[in-house]
Amino acid sequence: DADVTQTPRNRITKTGKRIMLECSQTKGHDRMYWYRQDPGLGLRLIYYSFDVKDINKGEISDGYSVSRQAQAKFSLSLESAIPNQTALYFCATEGQGPDTQYFGPGTRLTVL
Amino acid sequence: EDQVTQSPEALRLQEGESSSLNCSYTVSGLRGLFWYRQDPGKGPEFLFTLYSAGEEKEKERLKATLTKKESFLHITAPKPEDSATYLCAVQAAGNTGKLIFGQGTTLQVKP
C-alpha cells in the first residue's frame, strides 16, 4: 500500500464549484504540504502544516484553503473553482527535520 | 530571491550514451538540494539529498554531485527505463521546510 494517497485522482468540475482534495499518509510524518504543478512553471507550494495546529501559507495560497484533520490527513479546498486552477495537485509529507519530502500520486483537476 | 534553474529543458540520448543534467541555484543559505524523478502522470519520486559542496551520491546509473552554485546529475550508460523528468529542488536554511523547484529536465533514452 502506498504511504501517501490522494483522492480523487482525477476530477473535472465547473467554474464556481467547491472542490476538496484529500491526502492521507501512513508514514507517521508530522509535516504535510500541498503543491500544484503547471507546465513550464514547475511545482509551487500552496500551503503547509507542521502539525495539526500549525497551518502556513505558501507562495500561491490565494483561492485555496486547507484543513489538517489529524496527523495523517490534510485536505485542500477550492472554495470557488476557476479555470486557471486547472493543474496537477500533489500532497507531500516530511518527517522531523527538515528532511526529505515524499509525494503522493497526484490529483489532476480540470476546471471548465 | 531563491531560485533554481535546470538545463537543458529536454535531452534525448541513445541507449548507452552518458550525459549530465545541470541544476543551478541561488539560495540564502543551502540546507539541502534534492533530486527527484517524475514519470508522466505520477508524483515525484525521491532520488538523492545533498547537503554540502563536494558531496556525491550514487544509485545505479545515476550520480549526483554538488558545488556551491550548482548540482549535476550524471547518467552513465542510460537505458530506456531511465526516461523521465528529473526535478531539482533546494531547501533554504531555516526551518520552513519549503522546497523551491526547478522546471525539470525531460530525458528520453532511445533504444
Per-residue pLDDT of chain A (112 residues; tens, 9 = 90+): 569 999 999 999 999 999 999 999 999 999 999 999 998 788 999 999 999 999 999 999 999 999 999 999 999 999 999 999 999 999 999 987 667 899 999 999 999 9
pLDDT at B28: 86
Please report which confidence band the pLDDT of residue B21 belongs to, taking 50, 70 and 90 as the band edges: very high
Number of cross-chain residue pairs from A and B with Cβ atoms under 8 Å apart: 55
Kindly list the residues of chain A whose beta carbon comes within 8 Å of any beta carbon in chain B. Answer: 4, 31, 33, 40-45, 48, 50, 56, 58, 90, 94, 97-98, 100-106, 108
Task: Report how far residue B36's alpha carbon sits from residue B87's, in angstroms, rounded to the nearest whole number.
Answer: 5
Cα–Cα nearest to B39, from A26, A106, A46: A106
Q: What cell does A44 get?
A: 509551487
> Tell me, what's the pLDDT at A1?
59
Residue B82 has phi, psi (to 5 degrees) of -85, -5
Distances (CA, A) of B58 to A96, B55, B74: 24, 11, 9
B103 and A42: CB-CB below 8 Å? Answer: yes
DSSP state of A83: G
